[in-house]
Each structure stands twice: as C-alpha cells, then as structure tokens.
Structure 1
C-alpha cells in the first residue's frame, strides 16, 4: 500500500517553485503505513497527485519531495542520483586536484537526495544520514560508497553518538595540510563550504597589507591560509579542542611564527592584547544563532553588538567578511547588522557562498544557508 500525504486546502502553491519541503502545517492527513523506506505520494486537497517524496510523518517536515509528477520515479532512482552526484564532483575537477582532497560529494536537496550529505576527506568519507528515510537507505549508501572509499567511512545518524577523541580526519586544502576531529565532533568535520572563501580572505589580507583576525576560527582554516600567504594571522575560538587542532595545523605547515590563537567568546569583550589590531582583514564567522525566523532579530542584534566592537580594529582599506550560516539571516540582515554597529564607511564588494560542490536546487531557499558578505573600508 502506498502512503499518501494529503495537503490542506490552504497549503498554498505547491510545486517545484515552492521547494521540496512539505511542512506539517500544510498537511491535512497522512494515510497508509509510516514506512520511511518507501516513497510516499503527495496529493492536493482534490486528490490530484503532485509528486513523490521521502516520509517522516512525525517531523516538522513530514515529506521531502524527490520527484514532481503523477508517476513515481523509475526504480533505482536513489542509486542513480547518488552515482550522478559523485560523477558531478569529478567533472568539477575536485577529485583530480592533489592539492585539495576535501570537498562535498553529496549535498542533500541540492543533489536530489534530501537528508543525505557525503563529504570526502582524503581517503575517508563522512556520511550524514539526516532523516529517517535516508537512514533506512543506509545499506544502499554504504554499498555504493564502500568500494570507492580506500579509507574509513564515518556515519552520522540522527541519534547522538559518542565522540572518539582518537578519530581524526586528515586532508589538504589548496596545498596546505589540515586535520580535524572526526564526526560527530563538529558537523561533518571542517566546514568545507568555506573552502574557497578561505583562499580569498588570504588574498585580501595580502592586498590590504595587514594581519588577519578570524573570530570562530575552528581548526584554523582562514588563519593558516593567510599565514601561508605571508600574512600574520590571529584566530579566536571558544573551544579548546578546536584550538588544539588549529595550532597543530599551523605547526604542520611550518607557520607557527606567523600565527597565534586566543580562547575566548567571540561575542564577549575581546579585550585580549592580540585582538587589539588594526587588522587588514577581519573574518566574523559566528555559529548558527538563528535556528528559526523568530530568532532572526535577536541574531542580528547580537551580531551588531560584536561588529561594533570589531569595526574600530579594521584598518583603512581593510576588509570585513561577515558570515551567516543560517538561511534565516539574509544578506540584507548582514547589512543591517553592520549599519546598526555604526558602520558608515564600508561598502559591500563581494557576496559569497559555498563552492560549486554545494549545489542548491532552485526554489529551495533553505538550501542557501551560507552567506558571506565582504565589505571594504574606505581608505580616506
């Protein structure tokens, strides 16, 4: 029996343009067995079939559409899409670049596989099974990835798993060596969505001829890239374990003389002498502080307070990278935080996001979660 998800009459316009997520408030009724391993049929209030999707009946998003149309996708759709996602990364040239061995191979809805994320770290892979429907396909995922993975496969499922302090991922990025704790320590490892932005920040620091400050530095990606470009760099993070890896990464690349790290809260006073500045580049990369639309105003206010403390430390002609990893905090919200912080002499010069290994499906606004606005201070 096929499970059917019936929409309310007032569910709004539903189709490819509205994105793949069907929310609980849009659903009138779910008929049939709650089997996450099978595709469920999406019907409107007139019983017209709109599409097919992955079921999680008790979740806020009970259905994630994988195929629009009355007929279901052909048998084997899941394996074909997973194979196509891996091939797409090869076409980008990422698999053939010996200087960059960490990148995203499957990006959930962006690859038509909602809830599945696969990241490559050298010979290892990290697999995130983010929904019950994807967890039910665990065997199919590992059967396809296993023969293609020379090293280990780390699997992150919905349930909490204890961290193994001895489990470490090693990889290269733009010719630099890095290591980070293996999951579930921090997302899927090393924030691969910022990979290209780390290299750009280093280039901007060279252009500004001033040191770089990274707030929320994690394992030191921005810092190490800047130091490798010949720039003095300072990283700040609240996590002692993250900073342990950051120092290790600087040492492995022979960059300890140009790097320093501070353990502190990026939303705190920032009164450590190493943070005094002036800096040629400041990277403000907070954690996700708005988990819903209701928290957006509080998040913008918190960012404005911190940016107010940072702006006096940015040298004339210098660059500020303001980041948001929540789709609820938009690019205009980052502008608003900057204006609320008192900025009157900065102009936005870049609007960045993840690299091409993080595709976003049109209509899926929630998939565009990372926004990086780059501002430059007027020199005069």
Structure 2
C-alpha cells in the first residue's frame, strides 16, 4: 500500500481538472516518506485522486503520474510511451527524429525523451522520475528498441530537486554526434551540446520559414547548430551567416553544412548576438532570424527579459531595408504571446517602421500543449515583413 497525501478540504480547480502539480500549501497531511517515493493523493474526504511521486524538499510536493489506481512499473511507462508515439507518429513522415516524451504534457512529469534516428537522449529532471529510472529505461528499450540511450540530465531544476548533473550512455552506445534527418536535411544531435543536443521544438517553424527563403541571404542569430539556416538553404536561400557564441555549436554547424553540401554558401561567426547586431551592418541580408534562448526562469526576471527581446528586435528592425523579413522567436514560458508581440510592436514604433505578419508559429505536435497545464505552452514564433512607413 502506498503512503498517503491528503489534500485540504477546498481542492483547487487546477488540480481537479488535470494539473499534475500539488504544492506544499495545498496539503492537509502526509505520511512520512523518503523523497521520490510513490504516494496516493486523496481528497479531504478520503476519495482517491491520483498517484504520483513525493519530494519533501520541493514546493511542488507531489507530481501526479496517473489518476488511476494502478501500479507504477515498467508496463505503466511502456503504455504511456505507446500512447505518446501513437499521437505523434505522423511526424516521422518528415524525418526520423521526434520528442517522444515532453514531461507533463505527455503525463510523465520530469521526463524528456528525444529520439534521433536509432538513438534516444533522455533527461531525468526530478527526484521522483530519477528514482524510477530503471523502469523507464526498460520501457524505452522494449517500446522503441534503440541502439543506445544517452542520459543528459542537467540544469538549475536538478539542483532544486537535490540532484546532480549526469551525462553518459545508459544503454548501448553511439557516436558523439547523432545523425538524423528532418525534411530532407541531415542534422546532428550533439551529446556534448545544449539540452538534448538539438531543438526539435522549432521543426515546424524552420520548415515553414524555409518557404520564404528562396534567393535570400539569411542572417541566423543565436543559430546554435543551424536548424533554421540549413532548412532555408535547402529551399534555395543564396547564403546563410550563422552567428553564435559557442564555438562547439558552430563546429557542429560546419559539419552539418559539409554533409549536406551547403558549406560554400555558409559563413560562421562566433560572437555575442547583442554585440553583433549593434556593431555589424545587416546590408545584404533580406531574412534575419532572431531565436534567443530563454531569457527568464522566474517572474522576477520578466521585465528584464522583455527589455532583452525589445533590444534584439529593435536592432534588426532599425537596420532592415523595406521589404525584408524578420523571423523572431521566444521560448520564455513566463512571457505570454501578447506581451511578447506588444514588445516587438514597440520596437517597430521606435524604429518608425511597420511589420506585416506573414505567419505565426508555435509548438509542434511532439511538444504538445495541454489545456489544463498552462506551463506546457511556451514557444512563440512570428515572421514579419518590415516596411518603412512611407512604403506601407
């Protein structure tokens, strides 16, 4: 029998309607258990609400894994994985990479699993999901039959959970750079790079943007390993300049350019993006991509992040010639799309220019947004045509 956690009499609607997080101030009483243990969550009247894992040292005291009274074992995880794959498998028509599990959005809080061809890269981001690692690995092997499973658990969230960063092969093996394909382009997931090694969440936006790239010179700021640039080059972009502060990322981008035959149309610049946009002329670039990493992790940093977004976009808009394109993105979850768009609009106003929206994008099917879990919505993307007011 699992230990029990009893909620206060008034259950928050957030919990009742599907959110998996239960905070410490929502609990009436709890059995004494070690961190990571499975617990049953009950209403104040004793009704079973769900089963999840417990962390006495986190403000999110329980993360629910299921609303059913069932065992949390290898078969449980295998069934979750099969359901996720069934919903997302259509994406495999366009390549052999997929985010198999997107944490809370796929009913597995704390777990990230990316498939790159025959290999998996996983992140165990919470104490409870780390305790269940063996069962999860067994389920991944049985369900996906990979050649190798690489763990890449890192980040601030691990410290909050009382965990240490871990990196290495958990099952089988593979190369340091994992080759895979998207939309006819060969890419590499870098096991020594950021997160799982490649940002699959921009797969749809990169493919759609590439349709506007024919004949254009592309400037890709915060390029990482070149997802946007190489999609654009594959659809007829004349040239691409990739700007990133990481020499490692640029070296992977060079290898990607070589294997796809794009190298003669590429320039690689190691630089701070803010400095580059301030100091360099954008002359000759008719498509500029601004895709920075998350700029804030907590509400206290929101204003600073919005200033950063405005500054980046302002520096492009001021230098952009009439009729050129600006592709801008934000992956900062605590900033809403309305606030982000308002900030970019302010940049247009300050530049005395106008932006016409060509398309808006967001998260792909393998990074699902759940209606009852607002934290699962985070990615914003917009393509603008930039015009002088006199040309509008």
What is the TM-score when the length of structure 1 is the normalising length?
0.87
Is 1:360 equivalent to 2:369 in the alignment?
A: yes
- Secondary structure at the aligned position of 1:357 is classed as coil
Report the Cα distance in structure 2 between the residues aligned to 1:57 and 1:28, rounded to whole angstroms: 14
1:377 aligns with 2:386: yes
**Deviation for aligned residue 1:270:** 2.5
Q: Provide the secondary structure at the position in 1 that maps to 2:129.
A: helix
Measure how far apart 1:48 and its partner are.
5.0
Q: Does structure 1 residue 326 correspond to structure 2 residue 322?
A: no
CA deviation vs aligned residue, 1:80-126 (integer Å, no higher than 9, x gap): 21222233333x251xx3x6121111121121111111111111111
Q: Give distance in 2, aligned partners of 1:272 and 1:205.
A: 25
Structure 1: how far apart are the matches of 2:16 and 2:325?
38
What is the deviation of 1:166?
Answer: 6.8
Please list the CA deviations of residues 263-291 of structure 1 after superposition, one character each: whole Å capped at 9, or x if unmatched.
11112252565x52353322211111110
**Counterpart of 1:235?**
242
2:40 equivalent in structure 1? 40
Paired residue for 2:145?
A: 149
C-alpha distance in 2 between matches for 1:118 and 1:294:
30
Q: Distance in 1 between matches of 2:167 and 2:106?
A: 29
Equivalent in the alignment of 2:95: 100
User: How many angstroms apart in 2 are the aligned matches of 1:80 and 1:269?
Assistant: 48
**Whole-Å separation in 2 of the counterparts to 1:326 and 1:199:** 21
Q: Distance in 1 between matches of 2:283 and 2:278?
A: 11
Superposed, which structure 2 residues align to 1:130-149 within 5 Å? Answer: 130-147=125-142, 148-149=144-145
Q: 2:122, 2:150 within 8 Å by CA — same for their partners in 1?
A: yes
TM-score (norm 2): 0.85
Q: Give the length in aligned residue pairs.
A: 369
Higher normalized contact order (CA 8 Å, seq sep 6+, divided by chain length): 1
Q: Deviations over 1:205-230 (max 9, x none)?
A: 22xx5322211110011111112222
CA separation of 1:43/1:16 partners in 2, compared to 1, >3 Å: closer, same or farther?
closer
Q: Which residue of 1 aligns with 2:161?
A: none
SS of residue in 2 equivalent to 1:204: coil
User: What is aligned with 2:119?
Assistant: 124
Return the offset for 1:336: 2.2
Partners of 2:29 and 2:247 in 1: CA distance: 48
- Please say which of residues 232-241 and 34-43 is displaced more in the overlay: 34-43
Q: Which runs of 5+ in 2 are unaligned?
A: 159-163
1:372 Cα deviation from its structure 2 partner: 1.3
CA contact (8 A) 1:86 1:105 kept: yes
Task: Say if 1:235 and 1:62 are closer, same or farther in 2 by CA, change over 3 A.
Answer: same
- The alignment's C-alpha RMSD in Å is 2.6
Instruction: Tell which deviates more after alignment, 163-172 or 326-335.
Output: 163-172
Residue 255 in 1 paired to residue 262 in 2? yes
Q: After the TM superposition, which residues 1-380 of structure 1 pair with which residues of structure 2 at under 5 Å, given as runs?
A: 1-8=1-8, 12-17=12-17, 19-34=19-34, 36-44=36-44, 49-68=48-67, 72-73=69-70, 76-90=75-89, 92-94=90-92, 97=93, 100-147=95-142, 148-157=144-153, 158=158, 159-161=164-166, 167-182=176-191, 185-206=193-214, 209-231=215-237, 232-270=239-277, 273=280, 276-343=282-349, 344-378=353-387, 380=392
Cα pair 1:285 1:322 within 8 Å, conserved: yes
